[in-house]
Amino acid sequence: MVSTEQLERVKLDLTDRQSGLEDEMELRSTKLEGEILRLRQALQMRGSGEKEEDNMDILIDSHMRDITADNRPSVMPAGLSANNKHFGDLSNHELHQIKKMHEKDHQMKPKTILDESMGDIMNKLVNFLTYSFDGYTKALYEAEIMEDVYDNEKSTYEMIKVHFIAITLFMREDENILYIGILLVLLSIIIYLVNITTS
């Protein structure tokens, strides 16, 4: 059993610790207020046009270093703590590695058709022509499933609707719209040349 003397000692110890923590928090609070006041005064001096070598960048860097060196638990916004809950466990080196990988991913430009050679484009165009019927049939089946209408129960309206949905699905797949555009350009050139030669 715990005696009343031990309980009193524990209570005294807890109140001492609490007062010590309150004193430390008050000291840090006054220190932080002093830093903020000094930064505000430096900004006001700079804003008023006085030319003074106050090394504002050094002050802000040192202040930020003091804040980041503080290892007390901090209150984070709900969005940050929910999405980045594991970032607190990472070292500074690991965070820099993540930042480098993120920058590297954003520096890579996506490959477009202008980056490919004419031979590759023609090869893909021929493959598109070869396999486009299979792709359209697959899109047509998907459209029938989406509309829950099948071959023997289709009216004219439903048939047109299913084909329009299938065309849309087919064009959205891979780079089909690009090769359809190239085919239309080639077709228009052929029609133009035929029109010139016959007139």
For 185, 197, 199, the CA distances from 193, given in Å and listed in that order, are 12, 6, 10
Give the start-to-end residue ranges of the domains of the chain.
Answer: 1-73, 113-198
* pLDDT value, residue 161: 92
Tokens representing 192?
């133009």
* pLDDT value, residue 48: 60
If you average pLDDT over residues 72-90, what whole number do you get? 52
* pLDDT value, residue 170: 93
If you average pLDDT over residues 32-53, what whole number do you get? 71
Tokens representing 4?
């009343």
C-alpha–C-alpha distance, residues 101 and 91, integer Å: 16
pTM surpassing 0.75?
A: no
Is residue 145 within 8 Å of residue 186, measured between CB atoms? Answer: no
Closest CA to 124 of 166, 180, 188: 180
The more confidently predicted of residues 120 and 39 is 120
Q: pLDDT tens digits, residue range 100-159? A: 887 777 777 777 888 889 999 999 999 999 999 999 999 999 999 998 887 777 788 989
Task: DSSP for 41-52, please give it.
Answer: HHHHHHHTT---
Buried b (16+ CB within 10 A) or exposed e, 75-106: eeeeeeeeeeeeeeeeeeeeeeeeeeeeeeee
* pLDDT value, residue 21: 84
